[in-house]
Chain A
């Protein structure tokens, strides 16, 4: 009977809206989760059956072939190692450049911020293109080194803007003024107060930068020659192409038809899982920074 009384404490509109919320969440879950589930079962199924639409609720023609093919290739492990390094170091460098800059740009008393913002945003649209950039990398000695993944293009303007907006809206002017009264400099304020208050946005842009590094395919494609420096995405793409080609090589000497044919496409699906698993695992850790509300009152002390 207790639930009845708790019900009556709620407004009728709240009960209805609760219901709507839950229904919508369930629908969203199904719409998103089913294709993902499909990818998982497709990655262990016979590729031709998948293409014919015979695989819907559970795997058919079960085989680990796709995963075998991927993991027995030692390049995959080299790729994992490299990408982890580029991602961790790269993201730290990204944050080191972006956070202070976003903070400075968010302070109203910093007059040059308008000009500087324009200076940054301009580069989102106008760029010299691949060839001048390549020449620059060569001149700087970054080509074919691990640093080409870390040093160049380490400030993402979009992330800079998002962080700046967050600083502007969540760190109120009064807070700063109170701090300066105590003789606090910008730097101290930034480190001791602003940053700790901004955990959600730091988590978000850290995630953006991490994913950017993790998925980066182009940098390795253009600037790397040394097999030991290749990032994971490049290795996976090689594997994908090699196996797609089982079907493409026709007419050019009859290159298809091998026994691996049946599983060629399942590699496509397995690749998604292999490529994204680490980042997917990361998200729950960052989620705890999104927990609701820090009592403002506590800060005023």
Chain B
């Protein structure tokens, strides 16, 4: 009898002691996180590096993932106060400066929490003080944390020309607008793709006024800007301006009108959508169709079949006589830095746990994984602590798509420190090769006088609203005239009218506001913008 009783007690004790760790394990704080990802991105709860980060912070995460379509729902959630503990994503307007102002008290100020629980963030602020600016709101508090992805180039746009056609016609890559005209004319009339049809499209660029646009040619005329932005803002000698109002732009559209009227420009350049633009770039099964165009890099822009025929070429100056400065498309800060990539709400019950989890993203090894994918599958860590970005597991997939599928990529919060030794993938290394033609021109960009500090500027709510109203009207004028100047010409006669219209719509008021913020930024943070000497 006693034996049996003892046995029972023993079994009960064993079972209890097994349950105890479980009970303690349940004690892990749970955080609810809304994450907005690229449509290609896989389920976040299946990403090994996300789990590693959660474990390291001692938390359990309940993920709510949206693929791009979140904006409509967001306003309803915020306005009704129905928010999660953490928001993650720097894209798709998930976290906006306006939200901090519009919903006071909804977002958690992180200043003290960072001091107490976020060693990685603190280190990041020390190594890159400009990232602290990127995290601070006009009221002086930190409501969100940024991204710094380090490896991206200084330019977004690359100009490509079909080298094989040039060789066939005995021509050299154009260096002036005149030479460009000659080259395009030859493309049109001499049938370089050899199929007996005059189906060549000498020049094509992306729809709209931005993206991979021909306005990049303005860089050869001395304007430093991010031409893919399409808004026209740039800084010259410390003054904020808009190139859509500049006389040099006038010269450019006159030149483009000449090209257009001679059939050298894709007649659908203003009506096609991005899909069609890319389809045309890929040519047909038998021949390539496009002569000179703009894009991120040849394989993406022109497809793997014809890309080998193309070469990336350097800036083109307006004329042989031109002696002014020559630059190229410049968007270093836009490509590598980002504001509002992760934020905590005040509804969060366990703020310490949340801060610890957020801090994980700013550990450089984690940051690298957020960018390229988990260790093991996407990245190899060597014994000496250096990293190698591995090619895609699926041989048919390109590195870019692989990256976007495996992780948050460019849309995720991260800190990739400059001191890490990383061997990049073939796609990034190829970029460095292409960009050799742009290096001399980009190196001479004066960060103090010629760069609009994009992500670093935050407007007050009133100014944001005012700019939004004025810009909606102004951009309409810019866009419609851009198309009509190039397709219909008559620029000289209409120019004065055009600038007057812009003034009436309020463009100078926008410049005034922007100049104010620019001057304040320069005063407060002289010399804070830097570009690394080498990647």
* Chain A–chain B contact at Cβ < 8 A: yes
Q: What interface size band does chain A fall in? A: 35 or more
| Shortest distance from the beta carbon of A235 to any chain B beta carbon, whole Å | 11
For residue A236, give the distance in angstroms from its CB to the closest CB of chain B: 12
Q: Assess the B300–A254 pair: CB atoms within 8 A.
A: yes
> Considering residues A54, A134, A244, A253, which has the most beta carbons from chain B within 10 angstroms of its beta carbon?
A253
User: Which A residues are in CB contact (< 8 Å) with B75?
Assistant: 130-131
Chain A residue, CB-CB nearest to B43: A227
Within 8 Å CB of B72, what residues of A? 130, 218, 221-222
Contact A247 B278, beta carbon cutoff 8 Å: yes
Q: Does A128 contact B (CB under 8 A)?
A: no
Segment at the B interface, from A44-52, A85-93, A119-127, A175-183:
A44-52
- The verdict on A7 contacting chain B, using a C-beta distance below 8 Å, is no
Q: Is residue B195 within 8 Å, beta carbon to beta carbon, of the partner chain? A: no
Whether A255 pairs with B401 at a CB distance below 8 angstroms is yes
Which candidate, A159-167, A200-208, A257-265, is the interface stretch facing chain B?
A: A257-265
Instruction: Pick from B73, B278, B410: contact of A253, CB below 8 A.
Output: B410
Kindly list chain B residues whose C-beta atoms are within 8 Å of the C-beta of A238.
39, 67, 69
> For residue B67, which residue of chain A has the nearest CB?
A238
A-B contact count (CB 8 A): 115
Give the residues in chain B near A251, CB-CB below 8 Å. 156, 211-212, 228, 295-296
Question: A253 near B409 (CB under 8 angstroms)?
Answer: yes
CA distance A177 to B429 in the complex (A): 88
Please provide the chain B residues from 242 to 258 with a CB less than 8 Å away from any CB of chain A in the complex. Answer: none
Given A48-B279, A52-B279, A245-B39: A253 touches B274 (CB 8 Å cut-off): no
Q: Are A249 and B274 in contact (CB under 8 A)?
A: no
Which of these, A51, A54, A247, A257, contacts B400 with CB under 8 Å? A257
B382 on the A face (CB < 8 A): no
In Å, the complex CA distance between A244 and B68 comes to 12
Q: Classify the secondary structure of A's interface with B.
A: helix
The CA-CA distance from A238 to B72 in the complex, in Å, is: 15
B303 CB–A CB distance under 8 Å? yes
Query: Does A138 lie within 8 Å of B80, measured CB to CB?
Result: yes
Chain B residues whose CB sits within 8 angstroms of the CB of A135 once the complex forms: 79-80
Given contact pairs A52-B280, A241-B68, A251-B228, A257 touches B403 in the complex (Cβ within 8 A): no
Q: Chain B CB within 10 Å — which of A247, A252, A255, A258 has the most?
A: A255
Asked if A248 is at the interface (CB within 8 A of a chain B CB), the reply is: yes
A253 and B403 within 8 A (CB): yes
The CA of A218 and the CA of B71, in the complex, are separated in Å by 12
The residue among A54, A135, A252 with the most chain B CB atoms within 10 A of its own CB is A252
Are A250 and B296 in touch, CB under 8 angstroms?
A: yes
B504 is an interface residue with CB less than 8 A from chain A: no
- B76 and A249 within 8 A (CB): no
Return chain A residues, CB-CB under 8 Å to B85.
Answer: none
* Beta-carbon contact of B275 and A244 below 8 Å: yes
Cβ proximity bits B295-313 to A, threshold 8 Å, 1 near / 0 not: 1110111011000000000
Q: Determine which residue in A130, A237, A255, A257 has the highest number of CB atoms from chain B within 10 A of its CB, and name it.
A: A257
What are 22 A-B contacts with C-beta separation under 8 Å?
Answer: A49-B285, A51-B275, A51-B279, A52-B279, A131-B76, A134-B77, A134-B80, A225-B64, A238-B69, A241-B69, A245-B39, A249-B404, A250-B212, A251-B296, A253-B404, A254-B296, A254-B398, A255-B40, A255-B400, A256-B398, A257-B299, A265-B275
Contacts A221-B73, A250-B301, A256-B300 known; 19 new A-B pairs at CB < 8 A = A48-B279, A48-B282, A51-B279, A51-B280, A52-B284, A130-B76, A131-B75, A131-B76, A131-B79, A241-B69, A249-B38, A249-B401, A250-B295, A250-B296, A250-B300, A254-B431, A255-B404, A257-B398, A259-B396
